Amino acid sequence: MTAADGRPPLGARSMRRRTVEDRAMRTLIWIAAAVAVLPLLLVLYYVASQGLPALRLSLFTAGPRPVGQAGGGIKPAIVGSMIMVGLGTLIGTPIAVLTGIYVREYASGRAAVVVRFLIDVLAGVPSIIVGLFIYGLVVVPMGNFSAIAGALALAVILIPGVARITDEMLALVPHSVREASYALGVPRWKTVVKVVVPAALNGIVTGVVLSVARIAGEAAPLLFTALGNSVTSTALKQPMDALPLRIYLYASGPYKVWHEQAWAASLVLVGLVLCFALAMRLLFRRPAVS
């Protein structure tokens, strides 16, 4: 392999030059790792330092007030996020898990490759496009923006990730476990439901939780589906607010109060997401196996 790249063989260069080059490249690699970690620390630092001072009880108990009035909060966004993320998860998870089971346990050869590939394609669709899709599919026929449209958009975004994780976690269950079950005369479907899936459950749950954390932070697919709402609403057929939507609105606006609340809302959102991820990490050790 080396002869082909046109470089002289290793021994032809002086040992000193080689050592210096080795040192230099190793230092560069260390620097790359340090630089890569830096943005996370910076974002977390600013979210914490800007968000904490703006964090007060009224944030969770009040809705947005007209500009100029003191106080106000993001209750509609918190309630809305919980409803739409919850609903999206309920809709998306069963479809995703069943698809993952099909790919790993039943699809043979070519079918598995094709479905796996299509799941990857779906995972690559930009979330704003999913918003456009649901807009055409749900919002236009219904005649107005609604929470149910938002939840559906989030479900579509959840599906590929969970399907993929289910597929990968099932692959980790040794085949001998399945055969032991067959040997006892248990049919295939019962083997999958009662033996294989329970064995992979930890990993699947981890995947679902991380995906839920991800859709909780999505604003783009909600822009033309849930739209946003400045009063607390629980009606599924009406527009609904969400944390990321509120952050987007407030960050783009000109008012200082809005910016403060955007930081506070970010703190709530990021705190939630990181808690989920950290909990999963500690509970089940390494979730991603490749």
Partner 1 sequence: MQANDLRARDQIADIVGGRRPALGEILFRGILLLAVTLVLGILIGLLVELVLRSRPSFAANGWSFLWTSTWDPVHEVFGILPFFYGTLLTAVSAMLLATALGVGVALFLVELAPRVLARPVSFMVEMLAAIPSVVYGLWGIFVLAPWLRVYVETPLHDHFGGVPLFSGYPIGIGYLTAIVVLTVMVLPTVAAVSRDVIAAVPQSQREAAFALGATRWEMMRIAVLPFARSGIIGASILGLARGVGETLAVAMVIGASPSITISLFHPGYTMSALIANEFAEATTSLYRSTLIEVGLVLFLVTLLINIVARLLVWKVTGGERAGGVLV
Q: Which of residues 211-250 bind partner 1 (CB under 8 A)?
A: 211, 213-214, 216-220, 223-224, 227, 244, 247-248
Query: Which x/- pattern, by CB under 8 A, does the window 182-201 give for partner 1?
Result: x--x-xxxxxxx--------
Residue with tokens 């929470």: 147
Kindly state the tokens that stand for 213: 């954390």
Q: Which of residues 70-89 bind partner 1 (CB under 8 A)?
A: none
Instruction: Work out the burial of residue 128: count CB atoms within 10 Å of its CB; fewer than 13 is exposed, 13-18 middle, 19 or more buried.
Output: middle
Asked if residues 280 and 288 have their Cβ atoms less than 8 Å apart, the reply is no
99/233 with CB nearer partner 1: 99
- Kindly state whether residue 99 participates in binding partner 1, applying the rule CB under 8 A: yes
Q: How far is the CB of 266 from partner 1 (least distance, A)?
A: 5
Q: How far is it, in rounded angstroms, from Cα 200 to Cα 19? A: 47
Residue 226 tokens, joined: 């849930």
86 and 149 Cβ atoms separated by less than 8 Å: no
Of 82, 232, 87, 103, nearest to 163 by C-alpha is: 103
Rounded CA-CA distance 205/123 in Å is 19
Q: What is the dihedral of CA 81, 82, 84, 87, to 10 degrees?
A: 160
**Span of 52-60, 82-90, 92-100, 233-241 interacting with partner 1 by CB under 8 A:** 92-100
Contact 250, 234 (CB under 8 A): no
**Helix (H/G/I), strand (E/B), else coil: 286:** coil
- Which 158-177 residues touch partner 1, going by CB under 8 A? 159, 161, 163-165, 168, 175
- Ranges within 10-39 binding partner 1 (CB under 8 A): 10-11, 18-19, 21-22, 25-26, 28-33, 35-37, 39
Query: Smaller CB distance to partner 1: residue 191 or 233?
Result: 191
56 binding partner 1? (CB under 8 A): no
- List the one residue from 88, 150, 207, 239 that touches partner 1 (CB under 8 A): 207
Provide the minimum distance between the beta carbon of 162 and partner 1 in the complex, in angstroms, as a whole number.
Answer: 10
Residue with Cβ nearer partner 1 (67 or 172): 172
Task: Please report, as a single letter, which amino acid is at residue 224.
Answer: F
- CB neighbourhood size of 263 (10 A): 23
Least gap, CB of 200 to partner 1 (angstroms): 14
- Could you say which of 118, 195, 199, 205 contacts partner 1 (CB under 8 A)? 118
The span of 41-49, 57-65, 66-74, 76-84 binding partner 1 (CB under 8 A) equals 41-49
Interacting span for partner 1 (CB under 8 A) from 59-67, 77-85, 93-101, 229-237: 93-101
For the CB of residue 80, give the shortest distance to partner 1 in the complex, in Å. Answer: 15
**Cβ partners under 8 Å of residue 121, min gap 6:** none
Shortest distance (Å) from residue 30 CB to partner 1: 7
Report the C-alpha gap between 142 and 162 in whole angstroms: 29
Is residue 125 within the footprint of partner 1 (CB under 8 A)? yes
Q: How is residue 91 written in tokens?
A: 């809709």
Residue 253 makes contact with partner 1 by CB under 8 A = no
